[in-house]
Amino acid sequence: MHPAYSVIFFTTASGAGYGLLVLAAIFAISGLMPATAWLGFVTNGLALGLIAGGLLSSTFHLGHPERAWRALTQWRSSWLSREGVLAVATFVPAGLFAIGWVFLGTTTGFFGWMGAAAAVLAVATVISTSMIYASLITIRQWNNGIVPVAYLVLGLMSGAVLLEAVTRLFGVHGSHVDVVAIVLIVVGWLVKLAYWHSADTGLVKTTLATATGLGRFGSVRLLEQPHTEENFLMQEMGFVVARKHARRLRAIAQATLFVVPLAATIASLFVAPMVAMVLALVAVVSLAVGLLTERWLFFAEAKHDCMVYYGR
C-alpha cells in the first residue's frame, strides 16, 4: 500500500498524543503527578497538540477536506467514521480535565472523572483507528487481531517515553514512570515482532487462480495488462519500494523504536538527573524516527489483493 505521509504522521502523532493523555490522566488522578499549572499546561498541551495536529494532517490526503465533517455521520457501519466521532468526543472531557489541572489546580473530583472519561475515549479512538486497517480483509497483513493491540501498545508506549521527558524536565519524575515505560517498550517490541511474524507467515487466500476463477484450467499467468502506464490502483495499492529494503528497515525500526528508548530509560536510572534528562530527550527523538519508520513499513509492506490481477 502507498504510504501517504499525512496518514503516517496522523497515526503516529495522534497515537502518541492519546497515549500521553491516558497515562497523564491516570497518574494525575492517582496523585502521582502534581496538579501544578505549568506541568499541566505542557503535558496536556503536548498531548492535545499531537492529537489535533495528527487529525488535521489526516485531512490533507482527502480529495475534499472541506467536507471532512461528513465523515462523522456513518458511525453505524464505518470504523473511519467511528474514529472521527470518538476523536471529537475525546476533546470534551480532555479539555475540561486540562482546564481543571492548569487553571484550577485540581485533577480530582469532577475533573478526575473527566480525566478518566478522556482516557477511556482515547483508548477507544486508538482502537477505532487500528480497526480501519484491521477490518480490511483485502489486505492480509492487516486483517489481524494483532493490529489493534499494536496500535494501542505503541500509542501508550510513545506516551510513556514522552512522559519520561516531561516529568524529568519538571523535576517531578518518579519510578512509576520508569516502570510503565520499560514494561510498555518491552511489550511493544514483542507485539511488533508478533505482527511481523504473522505478516511473513500468514496464509495467502486470494491468488490469481481464485481471483479469476481460472485455476480450474491449470496455472494462470498474466499475459497482457489492460494498460501500459501505471494507473490509480497500481500507484495506491501496488507500492513495491519498501519490500526491497524491508529487512534493513525493520532493523532500523527496532533499533530506534525499542532498543534506544529502552536503553536510555534503563540507563537514566543510574545517572545524575541532568544526564537522565538528556537521555530522556534522546529517547524521544529516537522514538519519533522509529515510529515513522515502523508506520511507513506498516503501509509499504502491506499487499492488496487486487494486485494479483496485475500478476503482482
- Give the separation between CA 16 and CA 8, rounded to whole angstroms: 12
Q: With binding defined as CB under 8 A, does residue 232 bind other proteins?
A: yes
Q: Which helix (H) or strand (E) holds 231?
A: none
Q: With binding defined as CB under 8 A, does residue 306 bind other proteins?
A: yes
Give the residue with the Cβ less far from other proteins, 82 or 168: 82
In whole angstroms, the minimum distance from the beta carbon of 311 to other proteins comes to: 9
Choices 27-35, 91-99, 130-138, 253-261; region in contact with other proteins by CB under 8 A: 130-138
- How buried is residue 224: exposed, middle or buried, by Cβ count under 10 Å (0-12/13-18/19+)? exposed
Q: With binding defined as CB under 8 A, does residue 135 bind other proteins?
A: yes
- Give the separation between CA 129 and CA 86, rounded to whole angstroms: 10
Q: Are the C-beta atoms of residues 156 and 177 closer than 8 Å to each other?
A: no
Q: Are the C-beta atoms of residues 167 and 173 closer than 8 Å to each other?
A: yes
The residue within the footprint of other proteins, chosen from 63, 175, 244, 247 (CB under 8 A), is 63
Choices 35-43, 78-86, 107-115, 269-277; region in contact with other proteins by CB under 8 A: 78-86
Q: With binding defined as CB under 8 A, does residue 1 bind other proteins?
A: yes
Q: With binding defined as CB under 8 A, does residue 203 bind other proteins?
A: no
How is residue 104 written as a grid cell? Answer: 484550577
User: SS3 of 144, please?
Assistant: coil
Longest dimension (CA), the chain: 75
Give the residue with the Cβ less far from other proteins, 38 or 232: 232
The residue within the footprint of other proteins, chosen from 221, 244, 247, 248 (CB under 8 A), is 221
In whole angstroms, the minimum distance from the beta carbon of 194 to other proteins comes to: 23
Choices 39-47, 117-125, 136-144, 268-276; region in contact with other proteins by CB under 8 A: 136-144
Q: With binding defined as CB under 8 A, does residue 208 bind other proteins?
A: yes
The residue within the footprint of other proteins, chosen from 138, 176, 255, 285 (CB under 8 A), is 138
Question: C-alpha angle 69/75/77, rounded to 5°?
Answer: 130
How is residue 83 written as a grid cell? Answer: 474514529
Q: With binding defined as CB under 8 A, does residue 216 bind other proteins?
A: yes
Please state the three-class secondary structure of 245-298 as a single string: CHHHHHHHHHHHHHHHHHHHHHHHHHCCHHHHHHHHHHHHHHHHHHHHHHHHHH
Choices 33-41, 170-178, 228-236, 266-274; region in contact with other proteins by CB under 8 A: 228-236
**Residue ranges in contact with other proteins by CB under 8 A:** 1, 61-65, 67-68, 70-74, 76-81, 84, 132, 135-139, 205-206, 208, 210-214, 216-227, 229-233, 235-237, 304-307, 309-310
